[in-house]
């Protein structure tokens, strides 16, 4: 793992930029992307929506959203966030989205999520993080399990997609589980 808090081998995490809103708006027109990332009804969103959200997020001490950028050419790949933090419980939610379908499955999401987990546990001092994922998003579930997330609950038939009911999974990770994963991934162990 990279010693840099915001930089890996493939990606870096950075603050939102003004011109990101146009790209995020284009991604919102991709129904598959929207449906994988959220349980809300998919709909295109204007660039202004993303600008307003970024401005509000910059002022919120319980939300930390980063943009994922490629190291080689600085192109925007997606977002990753620690949000809804309950400081008294040292708990937060994590979320990720890779906007360009050509970038999925190349390891950028895994690296970005690893960076944001390191940030959540080491920089913010959280004890646990949680996420939810639609049960038919097998690629995301495999990624989360590989990172050390444990399925902690299932809301049966919670999401409606194309007339079919799909479960929503809740997964979680404790800081100590993250540390154990780091030790087992270290060279020579």
Query: Catalytic residues, which ones?
Result: 144
CA distance linking residue 26 with residue 23, whole number of Å = 5
Q: For the sheet with 64-70, list strands across it.
A: 11-14, 64-70, 76-86, 91-98, 128-134, 164-174, 150-161
Q: What angle do CA 103, 65, 67 make, to 5 degrees?
A: 35
Tell me which residue has tokens 């027109």.
29
Would the CA dihedral through 134, 138, 144, 149 be positive or negative?
Answer: positive
Q: In this structure, are residues 99 and 33 in contact, taking their beta carbons and an 8 Å threshold?
A: yes
């Amino acid at each position: 793992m990279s010693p840099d808090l915001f930089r890996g081998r493939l990606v870096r995490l950075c603050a939102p930029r003004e011109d990101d809103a146009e790209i995020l708006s284009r991604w919102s027109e991709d129904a598959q992307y929207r449906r994988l990332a959220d349980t809300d009804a998919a709909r295109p969103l204007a660039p202004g929506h993303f600008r307003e959200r970024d401005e509000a997020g910059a002022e919120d001490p319980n939300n930390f959203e980063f943009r994922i950028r490629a190291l080689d050419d600085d192109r925007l790949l997606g977002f990753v966030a620690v949000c809804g933090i309950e400081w008294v419980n040292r708990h937060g939610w994590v979320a990720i989205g890779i906007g360009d379908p050509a970038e999925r499955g190349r390891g950028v999401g895994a690296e970005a999520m690893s960076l944001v987990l390191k940030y959540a546990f080491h920089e913010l001092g959280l004890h646990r993080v949680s996420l939810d994922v639609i049960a038919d998003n097998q690629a995301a579930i495999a990624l989360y399990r590989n990172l050390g997330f444990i399925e902690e609950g299932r809301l049966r038939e919670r999401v409606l997609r194309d007339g079919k009911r799909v479960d929503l999974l809740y997964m979680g990770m404790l800081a100590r589980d993250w540390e154990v994963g780091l030790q087992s991934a270290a060279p020579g162990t």
